[in-house]
Amino acid sequence: MNPGWPFPCARSLPKRRRLRAEIARYLRQARGVACTPDEIVIAAGTQLLIQQLCCLFGLDGRAVAIEEPGYNGVRIVFQHLGFAVTPIPLEEDGINVEALEASGARLVYITPSHQEPSGMVMPYAKRIRLLQWAARTGVYIVEDDYDGEFRYRGKPIPSDAGLSVTVEVYSDKTAEELTAAAASAGIRVYPTAPKWFRPPQNRLPAFQFGFGGLSVEEMDAGLRLLYEVWKPYLHSCN
């Protein structure tokens, strides 16, 4: 038994609890999350876990705040369960806390380690503000730490980056037209429009580029090819 570790060695636990015990151990040591194996729930995907959480909260028909733009897969789950979805705008360092406080939501879903789709990382100070707001009002914060383990440098911010980047394209073409042009050359790009609850008007087409599992050479070759495909549709940012 390790000093400071409050749970039995995983080897002494029944097989069905060993995985949860190891996850709890890792979260405590690497992410600063103090939890027991009994508090670990394993499920097949984010949407299923969100659905289970909603059943526990019993907030059907009440307001839930989400990031704008944000992960549309979870937004759809909230809508299907009858929640009143309230989009909260983003600032340069994450969700707008003032707008969140004024929303009246009793639940907020956030992706602070790697905001979906912008890729920003919420700083520690703003996380503390969110926790203070939750403690003061009794609301729930659902933190989706997806991609929080993936980073090229530095240590994760305690439950805290990510392997994608969002890019705006200076073009008069729509995101759908640019996506089709890229596909004609065998390149898959992913517009961020579905991430918006209320898509803004007259916004430049934006895309989420994933770069996990690619070498620098592969990324360079892919971007050069994409530039050649999109070159006829681009205009100067000046």
Look at residue 88 in the predicted model and tell me its pLDDT: 94
Residue 157 included in any domain: no
Contacts of 124 (CB under 8 A, 6+ apart): 157, 158
Distance separating alpha carbons of residues 93 and 109, to the nearest angstrom: 16
Residue 179 shares a structural domain with residue 229: yes
Q: How many domains does the chain have?
A: 3
Residue 178: per-residue pLDDT: 92
Nearest-angstrom CA–CA distance, 74 and 48: 9
- Preceding omega of 117 cis (within 30 degrees of 0): yes
Q: What is the CATH number of the domain that holds 80?
A: 3.40.640.10
Is 238 part of any domain? no
154 within some domain = no
In DSSP notation, 106-170 reads: SEEEE--SS-TTT-----HHHHHHHHHHHHHHT-EEEE--TTTT--SSSPPPP----SEEEEE--
Three-class secondary structure of residue 32 per DSSP: coil
Note the pLDDT of residue 161: 42
pLDDT band at 154 (very low <50, low <70, confident <90, very high): low
Q: 181 and 97 share a domain?
A: no
Last residue of a domain, one of 114, 143, 172: 143
* Residue 52 counted as domain residue: yes
Predicted confidence at residue 12, as pLDDT, reads 56
Same domain, residue pair 114 and 177? no
In a domain, 86, yes or no: yes
Residues 6+ apart with CB under 8 A from 65: 86, 87, 88, 95, 100, 103, 105, 107, 108, 109
CB distance 189 to 174 below 8 Å: no
The answer to whether residues 107 and 23 belong to one domain is no
**pLDDT above 90 covers what percent of the chain?**
15
Indicate the residue among 111, 143, 175 that finishes a domain: 143
My answer on whether 74 and 15 are in the same domain is no
104 and 65 within one domain: yes
Lowest mean pLDDT among 103-107, 125-129, 147-151: 147-151
Residue 3 lies in a domain: no
Is the pLDDT at 49 greater than 50? The verdict is: yes
pLDDT for residue 156: 58
pLDDT level of residue 4 (50, 70, 90 thresholds): very low
Query: Do 179 and 201 sit in the same domain of this protein?
Result: yes
Binned at pLDDT 50, 70 and 90, residue 59 comes out as low
pLDDT tens figures, 65-77: 999 998 888 999 9
> Average of pLDDT values for 147-155?
61
Same domain? For 175 and 223 the reply is: yes
Q: Are residues 28 and 76 in the same domain?
A: no
pLDDT digits (tens, 9 = 90+) for 165-216: 788 899 988 889 999 999 888 888 888 888 888 777 778 888 888 776 677 8
Q: Are residues 199 and 133 in the same domain?
A: no
The parent domain of residue 131 ranges over: 46-143
Distances (CA, A) of 199 to 10, 17, 68, 89, 204: 48, 44, 9, 12, 11
Q: What is the pLDDT of residue 213?
A: 67
pTM for the structure as a whole:
0.61
Shared domain for 109 and 82, answered yes or no, is yes
**Residue 157: pLDDT over 80:** no
State whether 137 and 68 are in the same domain.
yes
